[in-house]
Amino acid sequence: MELLVAKLAAVGLAGIGSQWLAWRFRIPGIVLLALAGLALGPATGFLVPERDFGQLFKPMVAVAVAIILFEGGFTLNFHEIRHTSTAVRRLVIIGAPLAWVLNTAAGYYVAGLPLPAAVILGGVLVVTGPTVIMPLLRQSNLTSRPASLLRWEAIVNDPVGALFAVIAFEALLISQGTGTVPELIAHAIVALIFALGVGILAGRAVVWTFNGGHVPEYLKAPVLLVVVLGTYVASQWILEESGLLTVTVLGITLANSNLADLVEIRRFKETITTLLVSGVFVLLSASIDMATIQALDWRAAAFVAVMLFVVRPVTIFIATIGSGLTWQERVLTGWIAPRGVVAIAVTSFFAAKLTNFYIDGSREMVGLAFAIVMTTVVLHGFTLAPLAQWLGLAAGKRNGVIIVGGSAWSVGLAKKLKDHGLPVLIVDNNWNQLREARSAGIPTHYGEILSETMEYSLDLGGYGTMIAATENDAYNTLVLTDYAFDFGRQNVFQIAPATRKLGIAAEAAFQLGGRALQAGQSTLSDFARGGSEIGFSATKLTAKFDLKQLIASKDARWVPVLAIKPDLSIVVATAGKPFAASTDDIVIGH
């Protein structure tokens, strides 16, 4: 028992440790997860999941994949797809079947698989894996349209690929004399209708129950988790692997409904999914035995090459004709197609089924799936960001600043930031408040930043700092509490919240809102009284003129707001902490 607990702890440490290292050193986390799994499994033999967890291993993976797909569907809002809907439809309706055919041909003619195994593997490899795409998109900083396209394709095609494999296996059963073609067609249609119906009805029931106050706040996330598992199991009873489609539809239904506490539930699901992706990928990598790896030969290498350099680009090129995508977006999408947890899990499942029917190719299927997953994870993980940069599809460095509130103070600061080459955007829900910013040529965005639609209409790519500078302290706090999850609490700031003047403990203030700007004892209302006379200065520090000398040269009421580093990163001056600015920094203050 103690050893099993130690192995579970090792999986958790390896998974979350890999995610942290990936964040710290800006490398693809999924690569580190795979290497961690190989180190714990085939390399050392410390972890053998099927031996250590027995019959619980595959159900554990199945449940984890279902939750991961639900959370992926939960992020798919139709507001986001408005610029990519045609391309997404084509990738699903045309691209997925075409990829199945081409994958099968590559498996049969290049890898030398028996036809039944090639057809099943071809269906499985249609998936592009949200467990891999999501971490890559988080780190690559793509512009919104290609990021949306890759996200939608990964999540929608994941259950589609699994269903292709199911259909192929059912066809195999017919060839073995255990069924008929009409039975297969009827079974598939019933399963599809059932999966869609259950997903939509379950989603509507959740919305009605939650919004009607029939579930207390503290039980909403656990209840939703149970609903996901229940709908998954119900669909699995009708047709194996159809549960993945059901939970994806359930997630999409909830994402596009007026569900109360949607943000809080989504964050809970994202936390759970991060844990599951980390653990499952480590476990599945560890489950690959050394014999399977050693059995890979030149045909496996040729198969991987054909899949990457022929099948995927041809599929994307044909499927996206007339879709409105630019050639750069088609090139990027034609290259980026990493496979992940679902590919390995579903391949392992059907390989065991083939073994039961004494059909050759089961071990080779698992080996090829592993080769595709590892190759795409490494190659796509390390090339996505550079390729996006080369194609002009990267959002750029996240050194931009979003200022909430179109006051004279905001305009004054924005002018200085823009003058020194930093991206800046002023957001306000009052059109007249943005008049001065528009006149000054500063980018603006009109709308309520707390609305759900703003999440999809406001492109946050390229912005790494948010400053809330309205005259309403409570509103500033609410905005930054909401966006701290996206920017990181260390990167959200508000101008002199009134809580400081009321003597509320700093610890309590830090739990909500952002860090207070260093503005003496003044709030925005104090600055606003000066109207457009708020003057910002920008001074470059030198070895002979440092920050102390700058402060000494200014009026006693002058305070620094932030410093722009030579690499265009910024350091914001916050209340209660020493402000660090060094030689060659440009200090902006008022």
| Element containing residue 463 per DSSP (H, E) | strand 463-468
Scored b (16 or more CB within 10 A) or e, 45-72 reads eebbbeebbeeebbebbbbbbbbbbbbb
Residue (of 528, 453, 440, 512) closest to 480 by Cα position: 512
Q: Residues 6 or more apart from 506 whose CB is under 8 A from it?
A: 500, 576
> How far apart (Å, rounded) are the C-alpha atoms in residues 255 and 76?
6
For residues 411 and 441, the answer to whether their CB atoms sit within 8 Å is: no
- pLDDT at position 458 is 66
Of 255, 283, 285, 249, whose CA–CA distance to 269 is shortest? 255
Q: Which two tokens stand for residue 302?
A: 């040729």
SS3 589: strand
- Indicate whether 161 pLDDT > 80: no
Which of 16-24's residues contact partners 24+ apart within 8 Å by CB, and which partners?
16/275, 16/278, 18/278, 18/282, 19/135, 19/274, 19/278, 22/135, 22/139
Q: pLDDT digits over 290-330, tens only?
A: 777 777 788 889 999 999 999 999 999 999 888 888 899 89
Q: Is the pLDDT confidence value at 519 over 70?
A: no
Q: By percentage, how much of the chain surpasses pLDDT 70? A: 82
**89: helix, coil or strand?**
helix
Q: What is the pLDDT of residue 431?
A: 83
SS3 363: helix
Given a contact cutoff of 8 angstroms between Cβ atoms, the answer to whether 257 and 251 are in contact is no
206 vs 259: CA distance, rounded Å: 8
Closest alpha carbon to 449 in 498, 415, 483, 422: 483
CB contact at 8 A, 50 and 351:
no
What residue spans define the domains of the chain? Answer: 55-391, 400-589
Q: How would CATH label the architecture of 400-589?
A: 3-Layer(aba) Sandwich (3.40)
What does each C-alpha distance from 409 to 16, 400, 447, 491, 499 come to in angstroms? Answer: 42, 18, 19, 19, 20
509 and 481 in contact (C-beta within 8 Å)? no
pTM: 0.68
| Cβ atoms 34, 338 nearer than 8 A | no
Q: Which amino acid is at 469?
A: A
pLDDT of residue 507: 47
Looking up tokens 């996006």, which residue turns up? 388
Question: What is the overall mean pLDDT for the chain?
Answer: 79
Residue 57 pLDDT greater than 70, yes or no:
yes
What is the CATH class of 55-391? mainly alpha
Q: What is d(CA 117, CA 121) in angstroms, rounded to the nearest whole number?
A: 6
- Whole-Å CA distances, 384 to 131, 420, 466: 16, 29, 27
For residue 528, pLDDT beyond 50: no
Distance CA 369, CA 366 (A): 5
Summarize pLDDT for 321-352 with one digit per residue, the tens: 888 888 998 999 999 888 876 677 777 777 77
Rounded Cα distance between 46 and 117, Å, is 31
- Locus of tokens 């503290």: 218
What is residue 537's predicted lDDT score, i.e. its pLDDT?
86
Mean pLDDT over residues 96-101, rounded?
91
CA 414 to the chain's CA centroid: 30
With contact defined as beta carbons under 8 Å apart, do 61 and 345 qualify?
Answer: yes
* Cα–Cα nearest to 151, from 83, 218, 94, 99: 83
Two tokens, residue 397: 């460095």
Backbone angles phi, psi at 424, to 5 degrees: -145, 145
Element (H, E) at 444: strand 444-446
Q: Around 502, how many Cα atoms within 13 Å sit in the side-chain half-sphere?
A: 7
**Residues 365-405: tens digit of each pLDDT:** 888 888 898 888 888 888 888 888 888 887 666 778 999 98
Token pair in block for residue 534: 């708020």
Read off the tokens for 538.
């920008």
Query: Do 234 and 33 contact (CB within 8 A), yes or no?
Result: no
Per-residue pLDDT band at 76 (split at 50, 70, 90): low
Contact between 155 and 130 (Cβ < 8 Å) = yes
